[in-house]
Amino acid sequence: MIEFALTLPLLMLVVLGIIEFGFVFQQYEVVTNAAREGARVAVLPNYAATPTSAEANVKARVNQYLTSAGLDTASSVTTICGGTGCPGDWKFVKDTLVAGPPAVCVYTFPVTVKYQHPVPFIGGIINYFGGSFAALTLSATARMRSEAAAVGC
């Protein structure tokens, strides 16, 4: 009985850790695909007339993808940004495709999605021992090339 009492918390930690890892991995895949969907919307030609409408379209598509996968899209949980920085200015990034003269450049648009994953299983066991475990930040960035033709730099 004493041995069982000593090993049960460790066994629960291992089993629930495996379950928690499965949830984290599934949600990371969803976040990665949501970033890819947002980048795809951002590079579609004639999809948005202004950077403001492009930002709204990207955020709407990412939130739609996250919601359909069952993830919370509250602003305190999810961060969506695009362009050259995060929080982004929603501009395309110029990348050199061919360095030789004449240089050829393409424009890409990166979209970053960050999601705060709560850790209920492992956090509960660690709290039982007096510790704490904060939420994990799952972050994914997808970059897609503009569908416009490559131009000279």
Backbone phi, psi, residue 35, to 5°: -65, -40
Number of structural domains (the chain) is: 1
pLDDT at 32 over 90: yes
Question: What is the model's pTM?
Answer: 0.79
Q: Which domain holds residue 52?
A: 2-152
* Three-class SS state of 71: coil
For residues 38 and 134, which has the higher predicted lDDT (pLDDT)? 38
The mean of the pLDDT values for the chain is 81
Q: How far is CA 91 from CA 47, 55, 82, 122, in A?
A: 14, 10, 8, 40
pLDDT digits (tens, 9 = 90+) for 93-134: 776 666 667 777 778 888 889 898 888 777 777 777 777 777
For the segment 59-79, what is each residue's pLDDT rounded down to a tens digit? 899 999 999 998 888 876 788
